[in-house]
Amino acid sequence: VSFPEIEKFDYLPSSNKQTPSAYLSIMEGCSKYCTFCVVPYTRGEEVNRRFDDILLEASLLSKKGTKELVLLGQNVNAYKSTKNNGDMVGLAELIRHISHINGIERIRHTTSHPIDFSDELIDEYRNPKLANNLHLPVQSGSDIILSKMKRKHTVLEFKRIIKKVREIRPDINLTSDFIVGYPGETDYDFQQTLDLIEDLKFSDAYSFIYSARPGTPASYETDGVKIETKIKRLKKLKDLVKKQSAE
C-alpha cells in the first residue's frame, strides 16, 4: 500500500543550518488546473505533509535558532492533514500550533489561492506572530478572463477576502500576481485589472506577459493579443503599482 502523503516528504534535506529564517515545506502540487499553469502536470496533485512531522521539524528548527518560519507550498492554503487523534487540521490551525513553539517569533506562508482562503485563515491574522504581509495571486481584474483561466473565483470574491483581512490588519502589505495579454484579453478587460489595482492599492506585484506553456489548455487557444499591446499593458500595470507603492 502506498501513502504519498507520507512518502513524498521522506527525502527532504535535514535542517542542519542555524539560520534566523527558514523555509518549511508543508505541501506540494496543485489540484486547481488553471488553464495557463503547468504545476499540476509537473508537480502533480496536492499532497500534504503530515501535521506532526511539520511540528517536529518546526521545533527542531527553533532549537537551532530559527526565529522565522516560511511555510511553503504551490497552493499552501489548501493544506489539510489529520492529527494523531484523527481530527482534520488546515493551515490556520497549523499556524496556531507553530506559533506556540518556543522561540518562533514570526510565521509567513506562500503561495495561496483565493478559493482556499477560508474565514478561519483570515481570522488567524489576529495572531501577532503571523507576518504583516499577504501574497495572494489574482492574475486579472476581469471576471471574463478569470473564467477563461478557470480560476474558480470572481473579482468580487477576491475583493471580499482583502476587505476582511484589512479589517483585522489595516496596514497589511498586499502583493499579488498579474498576467497581461491572456488570449482574448480586450482593452476593457485590461482596464478592469487597472481598476482593481487602483481600488486595492497593492504594495507590489509580480506581473508577466502571457506566454503559452506547452500542454496547458490555454496553449491551444488562439493568442490574438499582439506582442506590442502586451508590452504596453505590462508597462502601464507596472507603472501603476510602482506609483502606488511610492505613496
Instruction: Specify the length of the chain in residues.
Output: 247
Residue 228: pLDDT band (50, 70, 90) is very high
Write down all domains in the chain, each with its CATH number in brackets: 4-246 (3.80.30.20)
Cis peptide before 111 (omega within 30 of 0): yes
- Which region among 19-23, 157-161, 197-201 has the lowest average model confidence (pLDDT)? 19-23
Residues 168 and 123: beta-carbon distance below 8 Å: yes
**Integer Cα distance of 34 and 147 in angstroms:** 10
Q: Of 16, 22, 44, 21, which Cα lies nearest the Cα of 31?
A: 44
Give, for 109, the enclosing helix (H) or strand (E): strand 106-110
- pLDDT confidence of residue 247: 83
End-to-end CA, the chain: 57
Residue 2: pLDDT band (50, 70, 90) is very low
Quick check: 15 pLDDT over 60?
Answer: no
Strand ranges across the sheet with 21-25:
21-25, 68-72, 106-110
Quick check: 12 pLDDT over 70?
Answer: no
- pLDDT confidence of residue 115: 98
Q: What is the pTM assigned to this prediction?
A: 0.90
Give, for 161, the enclosing helix (H) or strand (E): helix 155-168
pLDDT (tens digit, 9 = 90+) per residue, 61-89? 999 999 999 999 999 999 999 988 889 99
pLDDT (tens digit, 9 = 90+) per residue, 165-207? 999 999 999 999 999 999 999 999 999 999 999 999 999 999 9
Q: Of 199, 213, 206, which Cα lies nearest the Cα of 237?
A: 206
* Cα angle 239-242-247, degrees, rounded to a multiple of 5: 125
Quick check: 11 pLDDT over 80?
Answer: no
Residues 96 and 55: beta-carbon distance below 8 Å: no
Q: Give the three cell numbers for residue 12.
A: 527532504
**Integer Cα distance of 158 and 199 in angstroms:** 12
Q: Write the single-letter amino acid at 173.
A: N
* CA gyration radius, the chain: 19
Residues 32 and 15: beta-carbon distance below 8 Å: no
